[in-house]
């Protein structure tokens, strides 16, 4: 492992966990070769006419990693760091995530390298339509189904559905995470956060850790982090710090999450929340707490800051927030890491429900969505915990072992090798 943390490939980091699982499972070499690389990668140009009349060229990607278990599935990210290596890493993670929670999908990810905050709504609409038109030939209800991710939301999915429909005919099941009015599912917006909270509560109870009064620090107050913050206090957790891209706020006595949401709505950020202490995003990670929730960008916890982290539990609500070197530090220090592929799987689980509802042209109520989400994600947690308890391995290792075994088995019985 190189010391130049920023130079290390995100994809290679994900592969290092895959390699551990492949060794652990004594996976056949030819299967290992198939599962260690993406099946297909598409890079497209995305020229967009800006509101000022000029044309700007963006680059977009869709990486279809593996579809042995079903159609490719995974979000579309609009972010300046969304290069091919990152999208490839995230597509690989989606493959293991859908396998771990045992929903009938493979894994994919897409991205457009851009800063969505610097674009107007009209520009984002045009960018999304052009990107969709350029990748539509590899998408399909039974082929590849995108969803929101960082920098995209239900509005982006509405534009994608419309742009795809103009070419191929109306197909709501082509994307998930749509607005309710266009066939979205109740409970989809809250799902990544809700799933993470279900898993956290159960994993702590399993280890006889007290939930009442447990102090929680959350990095990221967006689509995932803000829901976690909202759902934890009724269960007895105490949210003491949160942050967004502009910075964080800390109050060791606990933050009033409802008031914080109102402040964020008005001020556009959590910073300057009355009565709380300001902290930077770096400082926030090292605050005293019981549970640390990275719910923003990837690779924020490295071998450099991992030794200073004070939490007893790290709940990975973001994708790939800790490097493998940080993982080793956590393991040595006895810190429990609930890995991304399990912690944030609630989003894709409810995406699966949305796809099922669209295909059946039938809508579930929110209670049904949440009950089924809990059943599936806790089922996956139980499977992982049985492996952890029986073999003294980490939750990440156990999750990957379960996932890789399932994908390998599917590839094998399909007759790939």
Q: Alpha-carbon distance 321 to 129, whole Å?
A: 30
With CB under 6 A as the contact rule, which of the stretches 73-81, 118-126, 284-292, 404-412 interacts with ligand GLU? 73-81
172 is a contact residue toward ligand GLU (CB under 6 A): no
Active-site residue 310, yes or no? no
Which one-letter DSSP state was computed for residue 182? Answer: G
Using the minimum distance from each CB to ligand GLU, give the nearer residue, 148 or 324: 148
With CB under 6 A as the contact rule, which of the stretches 67-75, 214-222, 290-298, 388-396 interacts with ligand GLU? 67-75
348 is a contact residue toward ligand GLU (CB under 6 A): yes
351 is a contact residue toward ligand GLU (CB under 6 A): yes
With CB under 6 A as the contact rule, which of the stretches 38-46, 233-241, 346-354, 402-410 interacts with ligand GLU? 346-354
156 is a contact residue toward ligand GLU (CB under 6 A): no
> Would you give the binding string for ligand GLU spanning residues 307-326, x where CB under 6 A is met?
------------x-------
**Shortest distance (Å) from residue 176 CB to ligand GLU:** 5
In DSSP notation, 236-275 reads: T-EEEEEEETTEEEE-TT---HHHHHHHHHHHSSSTT-TT
**Shortest distance (Å) from residue 297 CB to ligand GLU:** 13
Contacts of residue 266, defined as CB under 8 A and 6 or more positions apart, other chains included, come to none
Using the minimum distance from each CB to ligand GLU, give the nearer residue, 31 or 297: 297
Residue 33 CB neighbours (<10 A): 11
Beta strands in 267-316 (DSSP E): 277-279, 291-294, 313-315
154 is a contact residue toward ligand GLU (CB under 6 A): no
Using the minimum distance from each CB to ligand GLU, give the nearer residue, 214 or 343: 343
Q: Alpha-carbon distance 71 to 139, whole Å?
A: 9
Choosing from 62, 73, 263, 320, the residue that interacts with ligand GLU (CB under 6 A) is: 73
Choosing from 75, 187, 195, 324, the residue that interacts with ligand GLU (CB under 6 A) is: 75
With CB under 6 A as the contact rule, which of the stretches 26-34, 71-79, 272-280, 295-303 interacts with ligand GLU? 71-79
Query: Please, which of residues 259-298 interact with ligand GLU by CB under 6 A?
Result: none
Choosing from 95, 176, 238, 399, the residue that interacts with ligand GLU (CB under 6 A) is: 176
Which one-letter DSSP state was computed for residue 184? Answer: P
Q: Alpha-carbon distance 417 to 411, whole Å?
A: 8
Q: Where are the alpha helices (DSSP H) in 337-394?
A: 340-343, 346-360, 366-391
Which one-letter DSSP state was computed for residue 53? Answer: S
Using the minimum distance from each CB to ligand GLU, give the nearer residue, 104 or 307: 104
With CB under 6 A as the contact rule, which of the stretches 36-44, 258-266, 341-349, 389-397 interacts with ligand GLU? 341-349
> Hunting for tokens 């990095």 — which residue is that?
219
149 is a contact residue toward ligand GLU (CB under 6 A): yes
Using the minimum distance from each CB to ligand GLU, give the nearer residue, 103 or 270: 103
147 is a contact residue toward ligand GLU (CB under 6 A): yes
Q: Alpha-carbon distance 173 to 362, whole Å?
A: 12
Query: 80 by DSSP, 3-state: which?
Result: coil
**Shortest distance (Å) from residue 278 CB to ligand GLU:** 30
344 is a contact residue toward ligand GLU (CB under 6 A): yes
Query: 13 by DSSP, 3-state: which?
Result: helix
Using the minimum distance from each CB to ligand GLU, give the nearer residue, 131 or 250: 131
Angle at CA 232, nearest 5°, toward 226 and 235?
160
Query: 223 by DSSP, 3-state: which?
Result: coil
Angle between helix 366-391 and 191-206 (nearest 10): 40
Choosing from 156, 313, 347, 407, the residue that interacts with ligand GLU (CB under 6 A) is: 347
Exactly one of 73, 97, 109, 178 is catalytic; name it. 109
Residue nearest to ligand GLU (CB): 75
Contacts of residue 323, defined as CB under 8 A and 6 or more positions apart, other chains included, come to 5, 8, 13, 299, 301, 302, 303
74 is a contact residue toward ligand GLU (CB under 6 A): yes
Q: Alpha-carbon distance 247 to 269, whole Å?
A: 8
| Cα→Cα distances 215→221, 234, 236, Å | 17, 13, 10
**Shortest distance (Å) from residue 319 CB to ligand GLU:** 5
Q: Which helix (H) or strand (E) holds 60?
A: strand 55-66
Which residues are near ligand GLU by CB under 6 A?
A: 73-75, 147, 149, 176, 319, 344, 347-348, 351
Catalytically annotated residues: 109
């Amino acid at each position: 492992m190189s010391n130049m943390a920023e130079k290390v490939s995100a994809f290679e980091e994900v592969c290092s966990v895959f390699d551990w699982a492949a060794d652990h499972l004594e996976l056949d070499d030819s299967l290992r070769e198939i599962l260690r690389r993406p099946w297909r990668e598409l890079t497209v140009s995305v020229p967009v006419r800006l509101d000022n009349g000029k044309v700007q060229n963006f680059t977009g990607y869709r990486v279809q990693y593996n579809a042995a278990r079903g159609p490719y599935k995974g979000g579309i990210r609009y972010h300046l760091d969304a290069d091919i290596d990152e999208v490839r890493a995230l597509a690989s993670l989606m493959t293991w995530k859908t396998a771990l929670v045992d929903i009938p999908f493979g894994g994919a990810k897409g991205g457009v390298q851009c800063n969505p905050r610097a674009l107007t709504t009209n520009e984002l609409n045009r960018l999304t339509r052009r990107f969709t038109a350029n990748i539509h030939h590899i998408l399909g209800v039974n082929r590849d189904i995108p969803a929101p991710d960082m920098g995209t939301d239900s509005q982006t999915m509405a534009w994608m559905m419309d742009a795809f429909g103009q070419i191929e005919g109306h197909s709501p099941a082509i994307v998930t995470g749509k607005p309710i009015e266009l066939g979205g599912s109740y409970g989809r917006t809250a799902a990544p956060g809700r799933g993470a909270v279900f898993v956290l509560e159960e994993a702590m109870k399993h280890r006889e850790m007290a939930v009442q009064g447990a102090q929680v620090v959350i990095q990221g107050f967006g689509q995932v982090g803000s829901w976690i913050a909202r759902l934890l206090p009724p269960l007895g957790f105490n949210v003491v710090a949160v942050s967004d891209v502009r910075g964080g706020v800390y109050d060791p006595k606990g933050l009033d999450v409802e008031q914080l949401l109102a402040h964020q709505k008005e001020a556009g950020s959590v910073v300057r929340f009355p009565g709380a202490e300001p902290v930077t995003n770096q400082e926030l990670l090292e605050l005293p707490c019981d549970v640390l929730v990275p719910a923003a960008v990837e690779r924020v916890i490295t071998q450099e800051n991992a030794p200073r982290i004070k939490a007893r539990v790290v709940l990975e609500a973001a994708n790939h927030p800790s490097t493998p070197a940080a993982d080793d530090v956590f393991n040595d220090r006895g810190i429990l890491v609930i890995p991304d592929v399990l912690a944030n799987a609630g989003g894709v689980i409810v995406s699966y429900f949305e796809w099922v509802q669209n295909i059946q042209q039938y809508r579930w109520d929110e209670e049904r969505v949440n009950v089924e989400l809990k059943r599936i994600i806790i089922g996956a947690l139980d499977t992982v915990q049985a492996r952890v308890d029986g073999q003294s391995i980490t939750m990440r290792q156990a999750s990957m072992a379960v996932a890789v075994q399932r994908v390998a088995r599917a590839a094998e019985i399909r007759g790939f090798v």
